[in-house]
Every structure is written in structure tokens, then in C-alpha cells.
Structure 1
Amino acid sequence: MIPFQNKYVQLDDLLDRMAESLQLDKTRYELMIQHYEAIKKWIEADEQFFKPFKYELYPHGSVRIRTTVKPIGKDEFDLDIALHLKVQWDIHTPEKIYFELRRRLSEHAIYKEKMELKNRCIRLNYSGDFHMDILPGVQENDWDEDKIRVPDRLLGYWVSSNPRGYSKWFLNKANIVKISLLEKALRAENLPSNDFENKKPLQRAVQLIKRYRDIYFHDDDTFKTSSIILTTIAGLYYNGEESIYLTVENIVNRIRQHTIHNSWRLKVLNPVNSEEDFTDKWEREPRYYQAFETFCEHLYEQWQELKKENGIISEGRILKGLFGDELYFKAQTSQADIIEKSRNANQLGINRNSGIIGAAGTVSTSLVKTNTFFGNDAD
């Protein structure tokens, strides 16, 4: 770990690198966009139903808010798409909208083989790469361009939703912070910035919490907490912390405050559509909420351990337990590569008083010598 003076900066550097390894790679992202554009053109060309209407087809969910997490045990991501028709929602039945989307996709030789019918959406499975969930919906009113009604096949009627408004809400929350603690520290130390996608502490925190969730429920995911619940709670409890570590710390603390001081369960509504209860399943099946409480309590306990001055070995053990060995080792290797590149470019020095690595040329700092191929110091 790059030994910054501030403990939270040290942890943030490692957490940032672990979260970076979790996200959608550039190749797969570009492939998703290609398939998205192809589906968009196919629906637009439909003479039978869709072409006469004004509508939009747009991504939402983790890809849009940039909190994707690579699944464990398989190499697939999910892309959520909304098919947003701009007509009065009560003109058509929910069955009609769902049927027309199904019909159009089934007319395509490739799409019909990839279709999987879900309760509110139709999934296209691109085996080994990703799956695309297409959610059909109709605009709910004229004064809110984002709010839609979507068909619920189990209930048999329209339900209110707002996937695009939700994305805007979350990104606005994340962007409260203009410059993160880690970015400030890198500038202050005159160290090279991480060559990562520029993400805010809230986005990184959500990625890490979701990864811990996947590890925690890996052996039995029957009552696994959904990503939309975790993401919403994180956004609601976020107080603009500049640190990834402190963002997670605040979120788990506030969850715990609720669970230990209240006998009633936590209720998580869509922050841009109070009619949509993301935790309605917890009401029907309390074991989902019990699993959520147990999972959050374990995360809280482990996060408290990171506060202590455990040393690198103990911190590594905790982080590997939370996020997995592979993710931790990748982050360590990434750090080592950055240090080596900076050393070879004569950008790093060692403080003669404290022994801490810092920028070369600063007061009380000696240059770190470059390693040759054979491991000897360069002259």
C-alpha cells in the first residue's frame, strides 16, 4: 500500500483499486452499446405497433450510474434498458405493451432464441457476456418526463416506476463531492493519479458493498439482498463524505442504528417515486429482512476492525475476507506497479526522517534509486 500519512487515504487507495477491478471492462461495455443500438433500430423499424409512437429507449440501473460489479463465478454483467412510450398509460393494457415487445423481439432470428420472459421485463441472454433486461413502460403524466407505468404480470396491472429519475437522483448525490480525499492526497504528495475511471466515493462504496454482498451470500443466495435496495440505502444515507472508507462507515453505522433501535423493519422506497417500495418482498417474506440485518451486522463488525491499527497483514486479512483474495491481490499488484513506474521515472523519494515514500525533490527526501533488470541499483 502506498504509505500516505493519513490512514483513510491509505485505505481509500486500496479500496479504489479493488472497486476498479469490479467494473465493466471497456470491451464488454462497447459490445453492450453495439447490441443496444441494434435492438433500438429493430424496434424503431416496427411498422405494426411501435413506429407511430413517440418513445425513448435508454439504459438505466448500474451501467447508467456506473456501479457495475463483476459477478462471482461467471463473467456476465446485466444491462437494464427502458422502452419508454410517450402516450397515455391508460390507453393500452399492461398485457398489450408487454405482448408487443415480445412479438417484435420474436420476429428477429437472433433475439427470439435469446428471450427469457420475466415478470416486468424481457431478458435477452448473451451467454458468457451479459444479459439485457428490456423494461416496457408508458409515461405516467405530462409534467414528469421520467415517471412511467410498467406492466406487472404477476399482479396483472400497471405499477408506477421511475428508472431514469432514479439514475439522476443517485448521480446528483454522488456528485456532491467535487474532489475526493484520495485525489487531494495524490495532488498534495505530487504522486501520479490513478489511471482509473473517475468515480466518486459513493459509487465506489456501492460497488464494494455489492461485492461483499455477493461473497456473503455466495453459498446460499435464497434471501440475498437486491442491488437496488443496497444502492438506494447508500444514496439515502450518504452525507457527502470525501473518503470511500468513511462513506461505507457512515452507511453501515446508520443501518445498524436503525436495526438495533427499532423493532420495525427498514422500508426502502424509490426516492423519486414514493409509490414504489423496493422492500415490499420483505413484508411478504420476513426472512429477506432477517438476512439483510445479519449481513449488515457482519459488514459493520469487519469495518470496525479496519479502524484499528492492525498493520498491513491484519488489514489484508480483513479486506480479503470482505472482498475476496483475487480482488485484494490485484489491488496490491496495481499499487506495486505504480510505485515501480514512479521509481523508474525518478518521481519517488523516501523521507529521511520518517522513511515514508513521497514525491522526489521535496524537503528531507532522498531519491529512490531505479532498479535494473537484474535487480541492482542503477548508478
Structure 2
Amino acid sequence: MLTIQQKTEFSEILDELGETLDITESQFNAAVTSYNAVGNWLCNDDSKLKPYSPSVKPQGSFLIGTTIQPYTDGQDIDIDLVCELTGKNPRWTQKDLKDIVKEQLESHKKYESILDEEGRRCWTLKYRENSINNDQYHMDILPAVIANGYNVVLTKFFSESRNINFDSLAIRITDKELLNYEVATDPDHWLQSNPFGYAKWFIDRAETSRLKLFSLNESIQPVPKFQKGRLPLQRVVQILKRHRDMMFKDDKEKPISVIITTLAAYAYEGQTNVLDALVGVIDRMHLFVEDEIDQDTREAYRFVGNPVNLSENFADRWRDTPAKERKFNDWLKKVKFDINNAAQQNGQHNIIRTLSESFGDNAVKKTFSNIGNRKQLLTEQGNNRFDAAVGLSTAGASAIKPHKFYGSKD
């Protein structure tokens, strides 16, 4: 059983780990510059999209503040975007819209050279040479149709209202797996998605009466500012995604981020301490994977509902690929064990060793380096505290006198 002091210190480690996993301000700004440039090109005077005022906005983890660094060199930072059109040519099908977006991208030499294979719903741009630290990232661009006045509603909801009708934030998107992909011209018959409603739901779940650190309204501005602060639930999702990546690497059947993020948000109970939030989430996530019955076949299947579109099952692929469900369950069992094991370690060396196995050497070393730098500064100011059981500096326990020598942090 951890003492209150030990819990506080380990929570600080996890919070710092989450910050270490976060993308940097320079990476964030490079991505914003890139997607604004794409949006401007899609809207240039020669574009067939010009009459419909295309704009590009972030969605997914980039929007809700849970993007993480690649777990190893050579991996990409993943940035999900929506290319919104206010209306469309009445003759265009989903395929037409998606092909026109591709055509416009290919009319730019740079975008033609970095355009990747077509995805189910998106076009992907793979950035391989960036002036900021040579970071690699890719952007998945989802073509979508919105209604007049949508952006006014979006800004109002993100900046003012908590009690909203999420359906009003829904958009219509392209999906080449739909039977009507090449024939349906009425967007009402296209697939509905709600990335901004989902973001609003997630941040509403993440905020507590004491903590409101993240602005979705800021995130959707034309030139958003980097937001360094994160809520405990955002840190929990970052930590869980990194653990998943370290466990499965490039395994295509590993748990997908939207399932991890959704179950974590369902399971979160407003804890303001990152350790308490993480333990609570991993103990309760399984409760929100439901059993449903197919009304046609009477077969049972597993269901992880989209909170803003309850007809959508984020775990729909589990039915066709049972290994996906099995690997999710294996991962959940493993992350529970690993977090508990790390929390029970005594001394900095043992904590570093156990955390490195789950989250990677570089991230953990950087985490403790940052903590050590703060400890050194506090010691010089005469404000450092030390708990011998954990081996970290804190705001409690016995004061340490300032010194001018720095040996092993073990």
C-alpha cells in the first residue's frame, strides 16, 4: 500500500511522463503551418472546390490534445484532419468529391510527391523532410460536407455551451467501403461522422470543477496556439497509447486509439491525481465494452459505442478479426500489471527500470532528467524535500540543505 506521499510522487512521475510523450511546440506549429498551407491550396482560385470554401481543421488526438511522440525513430507523428466543404456540386458523389480533392492536391508539385495510397476515407500526405528537427509526420485528410452556418455553431459550442445537441455538430464524409460510394449524390445518404462532437464530449468528460486547462475553441482557430497544459484524462490516454505502442509495435491488430480513448473517457471519474485517474481508468475500462445481439443473425458481438453516435460501434472490426479483441484484453491485463508493478518499486533506479520496460528508455530517461533538473533547482532554493522510500524530490518530508555537488541520481 502506497503512502499519500508516495502516491503524490508517482503521480508526478506519470504526469511528467505524459508531458514527455506530448509533441513539442515546434512540432505542433510545423503541423499547423502544413495543414493551413494544404487548406489554402485546396481553396485557390483554380480549384473546383473553391465555390464551397474548403477549410482544414484538426480532428482526433491532435484536436483533443492526446497526440504522442513516435515510440521509435522512423515512426510518424499521426495528424488527423477534416477538409470541410460548405455544400457541394449537387451531382458529386462521395467518389467524385474524394477524387477532386486528390486532383487538387496533385496539382501542387509538393503534395503530388508526398501523396500516399488512398485510405478508406482519407487521403494521406507523408511529410518526410521538415525544417523542424527533421520530424516525420503524416496527415490523414478526410473530405467532408457541412451545412451553412456550421462553423458559427461549432465555435459557439466549443466556447460557451456544455449542454449541447451533439447531432448539430455532425458532418457527412466519404467512405469507399459503402455500397453507395459511387452513386449517392445526396449527403444525407452518406456516412455521418461527428469528430467535433466527440471532442466536445471527451473534454467535457476530462474537465472537473477544479481543472479546466484545455480550450477546444483555441484548437479550431485558423492559427491555434500550442497548449502545453493537459488534464489528467488527457495524460492517461497518452500514457495508455504509449504502453500499447511499446507492447505491439507495428502489429496491425493492436488496440486502436479511438477505443482506448473512448473507454478511458467512459471510465474516468474526475480524479485530479494522474495516478488515481490511471488506476481508476484501467480498472473500469472493461465495464464499457458491452455485449450486443445482431438482430438478423442472432449472433453475439462486442460493442464500444461512439458516445455522440450510438449506432456506431468502434469495435466493429472485432467481429471479423477476433484477434483484435483478444489483443485488447491482453493489453489491458498487461497495463494493469505494469502500472501496479512500477508503483510498488522502491528507489529511483527500480522505478526507472520498470517504467522503461513499458514506456521506452528514452521517454523515461527524459522524464527523470526533467524531474532531476527541478529537484536541483529546488535544492538550490532551499525548498527541496526528499522521501527516502521513493527517492524523489517533493513538497513534503524533510528539507534538504542546498549543496554544490551533483552525483548519481540513483
Q: Distance in 2 between matches of 1:119 and 1:356?
A: 48
What RMSD, in angstroms, separates the aligned Cα atoms of the two structures? 3.2
Q: Distance in 1 between matches of 2:78 and 2:114?
A: 14
* Deviation readout 1:5-44 (Å, 9 max, x if unpaired): 5222111111111111111112121111111121111111
Q: Distance in 2 between matches of 1:252 and 1:350?
A: 29
Which residue identity lines up with residue 192 of structure 2 in the other structure?
A: S
Which residue identity lines up with residue 71 of structure 2 in the other structure?
A: I
Structure-2-length-normalised TM-score: 0.76
Identify the residue that residue 169 of structure 2 maps to in structure 1: 146
For 1:253-332, what aligned pairs fall within 5 Å after superposition?
A: 253-256=283-286, 266-306=302-342, 308=344, 310=346, 312-332=348-368
* Deviation readout 1:113-139 (Å, 9 max, x if unpaired): 111121100011101521111100113
Q: Secondary structure of 1:326's partner?
A: helix
Identify the residue that residue 217 of structure 1 maps to in structure 2: 248
Which residue identity lines up with residue 246 of structure 2 in the other structure?
A: I
Q: Can you give the 5+ residue segments of structure 1 that lack an aligned partner in the other structure?
A: 181-195
- Superposed displacement of residue 61, structure 1: 1.2
Contact 1:346–1:370 (Cα < 8 Å) also in 2:
no
For 1:3-82, what aligned pairs fall within 5 Å after superposition?
A: 6-73=5-72, 74-82=74-82
- Superposed displacement of residue 260, structure 1: 12
Residue of structure 2 aligned with 1:340, choices 369, 373, 376: 376
- Superposed displacement of residue 312, structure 1: 4.4
Identify the residue that residue 401 of structure 2 maps to in structure 1: 368
Q: Secondary structure of 1:125's partner?
A: strand
Contact 1:140–1:147 (Cα < 8 Å) also in 2:
no
Residue of structure 2 aligned with 1:237, choices 267, 271, 277: 267
Contact 2:71–2:360 (Cα < 8 Å) also in 1:
no
- Superposed displacement of residue 350, structure 1: 6.8
Q: Distance in 2 between matches of 1:275 and 1:265?
A: 14
Q: Distance in 1 between matches of 2:89 and 2:324?
A: 33
Residue of structure 1 aligned with 2:144, choices 137, 149, 160: 137
- Superposed displacement of residue 258, structure 1: 6.6
Residue of structure 1 aligned with 2:230, choices 199, 221, 227: 199
Q: Distance in 2 between matches of 1:260 and 1:155?
A: 25
- Percent identity between matched residues is 27
Q: Distance in 2 between matches of 1:312 and 1:356?
A: 7
Q: Does 1:227 align with 2:257?
A: yes
Q: Secondary structure of 1:275's partner?
A: strand
Q: Secondary structure of 2:58's partner?
A: strand
Which residue identity lines up with residue 170 of structure 1 in the other structure?
A: F
Q: Distance in 2 between matches of 1:365 and 1:285?
A: 55
Which residue identity lines up with residue 51 of structure 1 in the other structure?
A: K
Q: Secondary structure of 2:338's partner?
A: helix
Q: Secondary structure of 1:38's partner?
A: helix
The 1:153/1:46 distance shift into structure 2, 3 A limit, reads farther
Structure-1-length-normalised TM-score: 0.82
Contact 1:148–1:161 (Cα < 8 Å) also in 2:
yes
- Superposed displacement of residue 102, structure 1: 0.6
Q: Can you give the 5+ residue segments of structure 2 that lack an aligned partner in the other structure?
A: 129-134, 151-164, 182-189, 213-226, 294-299
Contact 1:269–1:277 (Cα < 8 Å) also in 2:
yes
The 1:267/1:46 distance shift into structure 2, 3 A limit, reads farther
Contact 1:8–1:245 (Cα < 8 Å) also in 2:
yes
Q: Does 1:161 align with 2:161?
A: no
Identify the residue that residue 127 of structure 2 maps to in structure 1: 126
Contact 2:343–2:351 (Cα < 8 Å) also in 1:
no
Contact 1:140–1:149 (Cα < 8 Å) also in 2:
no
* Deviation readout 1:64-123 (Å, 9 max, x if unpaired): 111111112225212211012232797631111101101110111110111112110001
- Superposed displacement of residue 224, structure 1: 0.9
Identify the residue that residue 208 of structure 1 maps to in structure 2: 239
